[in-house]
């Protein structure tokens, strides 16, 4: 069993104030595979003090110094990628190949992109007689989720550090092991003491203490919309900046003339990836009414091919939540196309939900409005393009989406009508350098790329004499 007994502050593994611990359970086997300390408000105070103390020196460091240490860290992550992937697999259930390619491979790409941005960025510019200066915002609290624990850690901490900020990380209790190992790599990289700090613990205690702390200048949070609302409310007491990446109910819209097999196949794969535990998953498939029967057949075929390749959901409680939503869909009189209650083996004693597709789903159904966070796809139909846009925009969320059309130009025209932070047209690839974030209740602010890096700067205008 992997055991960590300390928090990380000021470049040292420090004994926590409290004696509480948290067991980490492998959702595949149900076995306890790790144990971490449960941090306290006092531990938060220790870590924030370390970050505050380290900030002036790190904020004044040169771009070349930051690039050098980030390059060392990137090489260490790449060198240890198989171990990190294994940790992700046992803490939240992703199959090893997925953990290696997406949960670890994508963070490596993020670090590489941030290094490239640092090498070319201009920290100052002239506008008239004003010198516009970007300065690091200060101490950043990074509160990360369990569905992509390493990726979200890197997407928050690395741009913050690159901008000259110092960070205090609160990892997810459900899946903390990859974050602890990453912290060991941070220590090995030579990052100055206090720039990166780690305090595990409950959101209601450690997360709230970070959001409320007067010496924390910014909170970057990824998680549920409910929890994000609480973080924003607590952070408002001290008027600190808040970046929130929250829930989603993303639509994949098929327009007349699109390549149906490609569109439906890609939508099913996207929806079910990471066993449906992605806030950006395309969980609603919106199709012309006269194509519903064909779409149902294609979706059922895709679900059947995928089912045996997925890992479990990350916990028993998550499995039960998915079951509750599947039952809700049945109660709402949605028509089951494939999957259903239980798991692929026919019982209910594992954390593997069945890959499920519903049709005849209407806009007022809860399964069309609420984030399920499991491998469940709903099919909705429309008569006109205007109705398709209305359905796609008709949830409280706006994180991601897709459009499938006969031409890219037609797809682009429809994409401009969607109130969502990212839209893929005809299978356009994910771009690590493009900003990611949501409209409406999907969040505030952006991660990734140049725009994501700029979240961690303050802007100062210095008026020069003419």
Catalytic machinery residues: 245, 279
DSSP secondary structure string for all residues of 233-283: HHHGGGT-EEEEE----EEEEEPTTS-HHHHHHHHHHHHHGGGG--TT-EE
The pairing of strands 124-127 and 130-136 is: antiparallel
Query: C-alpha distances in angstroms, 299 versus 253, 293, 336?
Result: 14, 10, 12
- Measured from the Cβ of residue 464, the count of other Cβ atoms closer than 10 Å reads 9
Q: Within its chain, how far is the Cα of 327 from the centroid?
A: 27
- Do 192 and 163 meet the contact criterion of CB atoms below 8 Å apart? no
CA distance 302 to 326: 19
Q: Provide the token pair at 388.
A: 């398709």
Edge-to-edge strand list for the sheet holding 166-170: 12-14, 7-9, 196-198, 166-170, 139-143, 218-222, 241-245, 443-444
CA distance 296 to 332: 19
- Cα angle 423, 424, 425; round to 5: 115
- Measured from the Cβ of residue 348, the count of other Cβ atoms closer than 10 Å reads 14
- Give the torsion through C-alpha atoms of 97, 103, 108, 114, to 10 deg: 150
Residue 447: DSSP 8-state? B
Q: Provide the token pair at 278.
A: 């992605």
H or E element at residue 33: strand 32-37
**Cβ-count burial of 334 within 10 angstroms (0-12 exposed, 13-18 middle, 19+ buried)?**
buried
User: For the packed helices 63-79 and 81-92, what is the interaxial angle rounded to 10 degrees?
Assistant: 70
Burial 232-255 (b: 16+ CB within 10 A, else e): bebbeeeebbbbbbbbbbbbbbbb
């Amino acid at each position: 069993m992997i055991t960590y007994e300390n928090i990380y502050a000021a470049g040292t593994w420090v004994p926590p104030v409290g004696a509480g611990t948290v067991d980490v359970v492998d959702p595949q086997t149900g076995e306890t595979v790790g144990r971490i300390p449960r941090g306290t408000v006092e531990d938060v105070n220790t870590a924030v003090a370390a970050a505050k103390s380290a900030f002036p020196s790190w904020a004044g460091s040169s771009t070349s110094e930051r690039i050098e240490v980030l390059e060392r860290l990137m090489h260490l992550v790449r060198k240890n990628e198989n171990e990190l992937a294994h940790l992700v697999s046992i803490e939240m259930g992703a199959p090893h190949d997925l953990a290696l390619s997406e949960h670890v491979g994508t963070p490596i790409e993020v670090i590489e992109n941030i290094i490239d941005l640092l090498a070319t960025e201009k920290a100052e510019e002239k506008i008239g007689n004003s010198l516009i200066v970007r300065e690091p915002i200060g101490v950043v609290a990074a509160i990360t989720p369990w569905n992509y624990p390493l990726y979200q850690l890197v997407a928050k901490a690395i741009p913050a550090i690159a901008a000259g900020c110092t960070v205090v990380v609160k990892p997810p209790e459900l899946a903390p092991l990859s974050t602890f190992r990453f912290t060991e790599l941070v220590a090995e990289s030579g990052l100055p003491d206090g720039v990166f700090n780690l305090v595990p613990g409950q959101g209601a205690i450690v997360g709230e203490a970070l959001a409320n702390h007067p010496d924390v200048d910014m909170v970057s949070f990824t998680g549920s919309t409910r929890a994000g609302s609480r973080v924003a409310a607590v952070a408002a007491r001290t008027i600190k900046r808040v970046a929130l990446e929250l829930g989603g109910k993303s639509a994949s819209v098929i327009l007349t003339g699109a390549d149906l097999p490609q569109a439906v196949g890609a939508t099913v794969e996207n929806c079910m990836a990471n066993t449906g535990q992605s806030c950006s998953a395309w969980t609603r498939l919106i199709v012309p009414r006269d194509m519903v029967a064909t779409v149902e057949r294609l979706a059922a075929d895709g679900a059947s091919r995928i089912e045996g390749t997925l890992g479990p959901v990350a916990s028993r409680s998550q499995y039960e939540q998915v079951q509750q939503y599947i039952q809700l869909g049945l109660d709402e009189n949605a028509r089951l196309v494939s999957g259903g209650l239980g798991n692929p083996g026919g019982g209910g004693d594992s954390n593997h939900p069945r890959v499920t597709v519903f049709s005849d789903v209407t806009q007022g159904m809860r399964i069309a409005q609420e984030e399920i966070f499991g491998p469940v796809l709903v099919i909705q139909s429309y008569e006109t393009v205007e109705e398709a846009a209305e359905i796609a925009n008709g949830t409280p969320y706006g994180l991601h989406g897709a459009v499938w059309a006969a031409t890219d130009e037609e797809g682009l025209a429809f994409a401009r009508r969607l109130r969502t932070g990212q839209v893929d047209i005809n299978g356009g690839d994910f771009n690590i350098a493009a900003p990611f974030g949501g409209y409406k209740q999907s969040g505030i602010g952006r991660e990734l790329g140049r725009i994501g890096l700029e979240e961690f700067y303050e802007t100062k205008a210095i008026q020069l004499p003419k």
